[in-house]
Structure formats: structure tokens, C-alpha cells
Amino acid sequence: MSHLTFDDNLVLVNGDTGKSLVLNKSGKVIWNLLDGKLTQEEIVAQVCKEFKNVPDSVAQDVNSVILTLSAEGFIDTL
């Protein structure tokens, strides 16, 4: 797995599958929190601390990013 940061975005590249994925600023924060120690609820709480005016859908948004990362082979499911 390799990654490249530009501006507030993060590009992930899976060398095994050749797939790549671009994460925006919030996706980058979520990626950095996926250390295997935090629960999804703890990740949501950290995202809420990181950003102002977080939408009510933040838990669903975090879940969506995690599901996408898993489906694309970048992480194992939590």
C-alpha cells in the first residue's frame, strides 16, 4: 500500500490490486484514525472534534468511507 498527499487530499494505491482511491480531507482524517485500536464510534467522535459544523449524518458518512475502503481492499472491516 502506498499513498500520496496533495493539498487536503490523500491518494491511496493498492499495489496488489492496482486500485487507487482519492480521499478528501475528512476521508484522510478517517484513514489516519483507522489504526485498529479505535471503534467506529470513537472515530466518529474524533471526526466531530476535528471539524466544525459536522452534519447529522457524520456517523453514516464515516461508515460509508470505512465500507468503501474495505470493499476496495484497502482495509479489513472493523
What tens digit of pLDDT does each residue of 32-75 get? 999 889 999 999 999 999 999 999 999 999 999 999 999 999 99
Q: What is the dihedral of CA 25, 52, 76, 67, to 10 degrees?
A: -90
- For position 50, what pLDDT does the model report? 94
| Domain range annotation of the chain | 2-71
Determine contact, residues 12/21, Cβ cutoff 8 Å: yes
pTM of the complete model: 0.89
Per DSSP, helices labelled H in the chain are 25-33, 40-50, 58-71
Maximum alpha-carbon separation in the chain: 38
